[in-house]
A = this chain, B = another copy of it.
Amino acid sequence: MAAPTDNPGLPQAGQTGKGTLAILAGGGNLPSVVAEAALAKGRPVFVIGLRGQADEQVISRYPHGWMDWGQIGRLFSMLEDAACTEIVIIGPVTRPDVKHLKVDSGALKIIPFLKTLGTGGDDRILSSIVRFFEERGYRVIGASSIAPEILANEGLLTKKGPSDHDRADMEVGFTAVDRLGELDIGQAVVVVNRHVMAVEAAEGTDAMLARCAELRTKRYRFRQKKLGVLVKAPKPGQEERIDLPTIGARTVEMAAEAGLAGIAIAANSVHLAEREKAIARANKLGLFLIGEKRDEDG
């Protein structure tokens, strides 16, 4: 039997310490952007990497642990050990492959909750996850409240800017994502010649851009010119603490492969991963990248 302490639930000396920020990390470098921002403000961090998703090179710079999808018991025991009460959830994840799902006893307890995730749109699922943590005494906070710099700001980010033709495509695109968002459908569209060529739903932005590249080859072979715009914006009323739309260097590359002229995002509400790399890639490939202030911001 362990020696009694005054309050065994509180962190012990030598642990990460009170006020530690938990970062539940998916892929890419955004978890480290959040970690650096917290550390710069003197706040300790503990990063929990989702195995198969988080980048070991990124998170191993910080105090960290690993969990598999389904290891909910392990997740809460790590949160408790690190004495974290605030959690940032950041970085893209792909849904679990059921064949490789490791379910611990902590997860078995919450099967009724997991079942509710199967119904309804992404917004509903994300709200459920936030509520799930909050009911257990944790607070989920937005990554940008720790690291405002991860949001793509307003204005042109690249050397090249949109032409009038591109601006017309952008206008159609923003109208479309707004309307689609009201139906809880996706966060992105591709517009070519003022026509919505593709709509993102469950397949994600990369799969949509790959489809556009294929369509472009088939249907628009005679046009060599870069044409069309990827428009990305959050849904109206979206749960902004978990899953803001994100673009990065890979998005820029795939947009170039689809023959697009550029990418327009809603300013201050889309994450820009690998900021410098993404902008450099866009400049090299001759694409524009622009943050547009939307009416609803004003």
A: which residues have CB within 8 A of B?
A: 94-95, 97-99, 118-122, 175-176, 179-180, 182-186, 189, 193-199, 201-203, 207, 211, 215, 218-219, 221-223
Contact = CB atoms under 8 A, between A and B. Distances in A.
Contact of A183 (B94, B176, B211, B223): B176
Contact of A196 (B118, B184, B194, B223): B184
A95 to B, nearest CB: 5
A121 B175 CA distance: 15
A196 B211 CA distance: 18
Given A176-B183, A179-B179, A197 B202 contact: yes
A108 B167 CA distance: 32
Given A97-B221, A180-B180, A184-B195, 18 more contacts: A95-B218, A95-B219, A97-B218, A119-B194, A120-B193, A120-B194, A121-B196, A122-B195, A176-B185, A179-B179, A179-B183, A180-B199, A196-B201, A197-B201, A197-B202, A198-B201, A198-B202, A203-B211
29 contacts: A94-B218, A95-B219, A97-B218, A98-B222, A99-B221, A118-B193, A118-B223, A119-B193, A119-B195, A120-B193, A121-B194, A121-B195, A121-B196, A179-B182, A180-B180, A184-B195, A185-B196, A189-B201, A195-B202, A196-B201, A197-B201, A198-B202, A198-B203, A199-B201, A202-B215, A203-B211, A203-B215, A207-B211, A211-B211
